[in-house]
A and B are shown apart, each in its own frame.
Chain A
Amino acid sequence: GEDVEQSLFLSVREGDSSVINCTYTDSSSTYLYWYKQEPGAGLQLLTYIFSNMDMKQDQRLTVLLNKKDKHLSLRIADTQTGDSAIYFCAEINTNDYKLSFGAGTTVTVRA
């Protein structure tokens, strides 16, 4: 089965880098995702990585994947107040396209 775990809270100073960590268990995962949820909103797909990759960079976002340890991280460079949100790590079961989510990491950006 699938089980995704994340730390629950992260506080970061504006302008610093944020690193959000996630571990997953499904060895058959082919895609891993990061979603962002702002208050009262749905989920915004930020980025995703194919499981045969080690790293993906997209503007201020860098995703690192350690397949051996089943560890995924999202780094946000130059964190801004607009980055305050809940960030969800998710993996997909390619047999049924079902996303399994972590509990979400609440990121608070302080001035």
Chain B
Amino acid sequence: KAGVTQTPRYLIKTRGQQVTLSCSPISGHRSVSWYQQTPGQGLQFLFEYFSETQRNKGNFPGRFSGRQFSNSRSEMNVSTLELGDSALYLCASRGGVSYEQYFGPGTRLTVT
């Protein structure tokens, strides 16, 4: 089975721009969660989608949004980028009633 894939792997954007990141979960998994990893704050939960519905959201501003498609692929959008948004963005895939979450390789976003 293919693992979780994330595209692109690297992005460089300028302050004020917006960015869209993509995550394809493991085949058959319907839950996708997004996490932000920074040296200062560590790993923080952004949101979780299940069957195209956002079920939970972390403590991030409204500039961070996401969606999930009928094939379970998920996108995350950050608008009006700030320097502090520079981070590794990880998505995690979970299937059925399992509590195992499998992570993708991440997208490294650099905001200049």
Contact = CB atoms under 8 A, between A and B. Distances in A.
Contacts of A10: none
B73 interface: no
Contact of A97 (B48, B102, B103): B48
A70 to B, nearest CB: 18
Interface in A81-111: 88, 92, 94, 96-104
Residue among B35, B42, B43 with max Cβ neighbours from chain A (10 Å):
B43
Contacts of B45: 98-100
A99 B33 CA distance: 9
B43 A45 contact: no
B77 interface: no
A3 to B, nearest CB: 12
Nearest to A30: B99
Nearest to A98: B45
Interface string B25-37: 0000001010100
B56 A96 contact: yes
A44 B102 CA distance: 7
Interface string A65-91: 000000000000000000000001000
Contacts, number: 55
B105 A41 contact: yes
A53 interface: no
A98 B99 contact: no
A76 to B, nearest CB: 20
Given A97-B48, A98-B58, A45 B42 contact: no
B35 A45 contact: no
Nearest to B99: A31
A100 B44 CA distance: 7
7 contacts: A33-B101, A42-B4, A42-B104, A92-B101, A94-B99, A97-B101, A103-B42
5 smallest A-B Cβ distances: which pairs?
A43-B103, A101-B43, A96-B56, A42-B103, A42-B105
